């Protein structure tokens, strides 16, 4: 691939921040990968520039964050425009687009069967342009998953020198404990999870981002009168609470790469939505995914579709446990028995997670598929 510091193309990406992290998380990762691995300069237009800046950290020399407001003006349209999650393009920007502009809508990730049938389809617009739907997915007939070339190095770092990796994250290694990361929506049965970890037959360290600290504090207050006194105080980054057999550690907001490292270090990862879901897959560790809650339990259909894919090559004896864990977490029916079942079968679950990630990694990644898709569109126009 060409060097990232000598870009040969200029693309625009548009992103609206809907659920605080997922949309911008995916958009920033995609922008950086296109710059790093495909030598493309990116303008990333975001309607929440403050949150985007938290993700960007020190920034990227080939990715420019642009504030997207009602008052935004545009000097020109890029040769390729990526609209993320059907956020819509500004009318003023569309007026600058020509018939040669390639317009892709990078939509939400799902394992449902219909995705492959809609992936890559054009949608003619009133202005004469075609808007193509690009669906991420889990098989070769979809747009694939975000997967950067540096991910194997992170996994190697976590395995080779776990103590140093924990120190890099500002934490001490706890080899005697099962390290568990928690990232979830507010409807997750956090109180039940804390109860199960408190009664764990093995020590547990639950690593909680500061953004979820209020949710954990509320759940703690439901555990006992003793914990109510602790939970009445605001939980902040760096704070540690010992809740029977569970060490609860609150951490600050992590960069995306540091979050990837955390997932690789933990023995179990609770994740949600889209961005952390995919990162947990590449961490090759057991995970419990929580889809975004939707009316009429549509999110449970999405969960069932993913489990069918995730467990397609699992042994018969391993089929039931991941399904039971994720369904219990998504429906609010988590119990101590679920945690104890995880402990009993954690080695088998780890081996399956590693096999699944290795199997998926044989497919081209999403950024590469976007580039190939656009090249084919251009070739067909000539």
- The catalytic residue positions are 23, 274
Question: Could you tell me which of 316, 317, 321 has the C-alpha nearest to residue 287?
Answer: 321
The rounded mean pLDDT for the chain is 92
* Whether 321 contacts 352, CB under 8 Å: no
Q: Looking at residue 254, what DSSP letter applies?
A: P
* Whether 251 contacts 170, CB under 8 Å: yes
Rounded-to-integer distance, Cα 107 and Cα 371, Å? 16
* Whether 134 contacts 119, CB under 8 Å: yes
Pick 9-144's CATH classification: 3.40.50, 3.30.1490, 1.10.3470, 3.40.630.
3.40.50
Rounded-to-integer distance, Cα 378 and Cα 382, Å? 7
Q: Are strands 122-124 and 130-134 parallel, antiparallel or unpaired?
A: antiparallel
Rounded-to-integer distance, Cα 161 and Cα 353, Å? 21
Which DSSP string do the residues of 124-166 spell out, in sequence order?
A: E-TTS-EEEEE---SSTTS------TTHHHHHHHHHH-HHHHH
Q: What is residue 5's predicted lDDT score, i.e. its pLDDT?
A: 46
Range with the poorest average pLDDT among 203-207, 237-241, 281-285, 336-340 = 237-241
* Whether 277 contacts 289, CB under 8 Å: yes
Pick 151-360's CATH classification: 3.40.50.2000, 3.40.190.80, 3.40.1160.10, 3.40.50.360.
3.40.50.2000
Model confidence band, residue 18 (pLDDT cutoffs 50, 70, 90): confident
When pLDDT is averaged across residues 196-215 and rounded to a whole number, the result is 96
pLDDT in tens, 107-144: 999 999 999 999 999 999 988 899 999 999 999 999 99
Query: Structural domain boundaries of the chain?
Result: 9-144, 151-360
Q: Looking at residue 295, what DSSP letter applies?
A: G
pLDDT at 321 over 60: yes
Query: How long, in residues, is the chain?
Result: 382
247 membership: H or E segment, kind and range: strand 246-251
Strand partners, 46: 15, 67
When pLDDT is averaged across residues 323-349 and rounded to a whole number, the result is 97
- Is it true that 9-144 and 151-360 share their CATH fold? yes
Contacts of 77 (CB under 8 A, 6+ apart): 12, 93, 94, 96, 97, 98, 101
């Amino acid at each position: 691939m060409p060097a990232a510091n000598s870009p040969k193309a200029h693309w625009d990406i548009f992103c609206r921040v809907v659920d605080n992290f997922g949309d911008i998380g995916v958009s920033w990762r995609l922008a950086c990968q296109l710059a790093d691995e495909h030598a493309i300069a990116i303008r990333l237009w975001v309607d929440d520039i403050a949150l985007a800046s938290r993700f960007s950290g020190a920034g990227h020399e080939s990715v420019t964050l642009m504030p997207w407001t009602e008052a935004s003006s545009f000097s020109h349209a890029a040769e390729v425009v990526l609209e993320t999650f059907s956020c819509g393009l500004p009318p003023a920007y569309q007026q600058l687009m020509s018939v040669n502009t390639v317009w892709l809508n990078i939509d939400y990730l799902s394992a449902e069967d219909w995705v492959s049938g809609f992936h890559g389809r054009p949608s003619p617009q009133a202005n004469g342009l075609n808007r193509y739907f690009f669906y991420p997915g889990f098989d070769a007939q979809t747009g694939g998953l975000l997967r950067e070339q540096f991910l194997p190095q992170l996994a190697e770092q976590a395995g080779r020198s776990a103590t140093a990796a924990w120190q890099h994250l500002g934490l001490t290694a706890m080899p005697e404990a099962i390290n568990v990361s928690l990232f979830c929506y507010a409807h997750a049965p956090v109180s039940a999870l804390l109860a199960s970890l408190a009664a764990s037959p093995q020590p547990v360290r639950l690593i909680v981002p500061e953004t979820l600290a209020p949710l954990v504090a509320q759940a703690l207050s439901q555990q006992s009168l003793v914990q109510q006194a602790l939970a009445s105080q605001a939980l902040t980054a760096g704070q540690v609470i010992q809740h029977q057999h569970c060490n609860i550690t609150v951490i600050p907001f992590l960069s995306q790469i540091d979050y990837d490292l955390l997932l690789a270090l933990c023995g179990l990862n609770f994740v949600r939505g889209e961005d952390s879901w995919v990162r947990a897959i590449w961490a090759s560790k057991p995970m419990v995914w929580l889809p975004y809650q939707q009316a009429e339990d549509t999110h449970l259909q999405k969960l069932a579709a993913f489990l069918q894919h995730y467990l397609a090559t699992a042994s018969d004896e391993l089929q039931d446990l991941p399904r039971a864990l994720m369904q219990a977490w998504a429906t609010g029916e988590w119990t101590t028995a679920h945690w104890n079942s995880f402990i009993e079968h954690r080695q088998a679950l780890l081996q399956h997670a590693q096999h699944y990630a290795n199997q998926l990694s044989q497919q081209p990644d999403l950024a590469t598929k976007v580039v190939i898709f656009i090249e084919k569109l251009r070739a067909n126009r000539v």
